[in-house]
Structure 1
Amino acid sequence: MSARRLAALEVRNVSKIYESAGSRVTALAAGSLTLSPGTVTGIVGPSGSGKTTLLMIAGLLETPTAGEVLFDGRVISRPGSRLNDLRAFRRAHLGFVFQKANLIPFLTAADNVAIAMQLNGVGRQKAHARAGRLLAALGMGDRGANYPSQLSGGEQQRVSIARALANDPTVILADEPTAALDGGRAEMVMKVFRHLADSRQVAICVVTHDVRWIGYFDSKLELEDGRALPVRAT
């Protein structure tokens, strides 16, 4: 009998409640998510539905008020977890892509990718060699010496994807990665995610409000007012 293939990342029944000036706001209620190797999962829903909150909890950037986050079957985050203690884990296993590329403006494209590895203890020469390979794989091999101001929005986003891949993560979490791009560049980014899942067996989760990308997802979770909607038949 073959070993059971564990999910790369699981979020189980997480809720997030914010308290301010004596009031309580439920941003997310009992949300669950399973991200498996080689799949693209979509979190969809209108603005304010809890999509980003769920992604931040999955990415260990927020702690849940209730519930837990597991990695390969081991609990790594629950209420009261110290996020600073998980910093090394995030760098080793998770990659992040956001709506804005957030590249360091005074570093070249190659340097922006290499620095993620250097912060993880990789030597400069090795980091730059891998940065070059990653950029080339994303069609940016001739742009490594360019600064962010010399790149288009789509090119900057591809650099940010290369940076997310720099430490060979198990999971990539993307929060509205196409929102600032035009249709062609946005679709190119989604094709990159689909290719990475298929070719590298990365588990990818994309938060979006754009229904055009549903065809790229293996599964999707639809949120509304902080709650998951029933799965609809296709």
Structure 2
Amino acid sequence: MRIDILTLFPEMFAGVLSSSILGKAREKEIVDFHVTNFRDFSESKHGTVDDTPYGGGGGMVLKPEPLFRAVESMAGEKKPRVILMCPQGVPYNQKLAEELAKEEHLVFVCGHYEGYDERIREHLVTDEISIGDYVLTGGELAAMVVIDSVVRLQPGALGNQTSAVEDSFSTGLLEYPHYTRPAEFRGWRVPDVLLSGHHANIVKWRLKESLRRTSERRPDLLKRLELTAEMKKLLAELEAEKKITDKP
């Protein structure tokens, strides 16, 4: 996968792209990062990339010319997926991460100032993505979030590929609890089933705990999930347990 990042602050990405999973994926040549200052594509001798909005108002607006030139310089035979990081975009989720992970070439546009010339939205980008209902100073941090979530899904990026499959949201459920040594710490014991070595029972326990955690913390996810017969049975068990616990 090739990932291009268009930003006015390329130095922000140096540590992120060379560390942890992203850095290892780059070393393994699983992903190829290119960070470009789109100010380099301005025709102004001062490198101007923004201007005042037509019709008046506060703030500055990013001009279309530098961004169009920058993206067009990166396009190969196949048009890349061009992603605008923007609070007006579609909410980002794991399903979209998995979709983007299948692409060969992604271009992230990180803006600043008041906004973008509307022609950038209409004629240049293919996607507008928001990572939450809040406003950041620029698109760089949001792009880092999306890039991290996409790269970790690439084959070979994680030491254990099942980690990505079992992550929260990948299955539609929140992930089950994890434990490691020691088996007892300050009187708190690891659940016996995890020490039993009985694989089938462990799988069932993990599914039940995922359902428990999802129903308690994100019940909205359950409403969107197509439940299997086993899931329905386990949810019924959880409901019965809850009634016993809630009794005065």
| TM-score under structure 2 length normalisation | 0.26
Larger Rg: 2
| TM-score under structure 1 length normalisation | 0.27
Greater share of residues in strand: 1
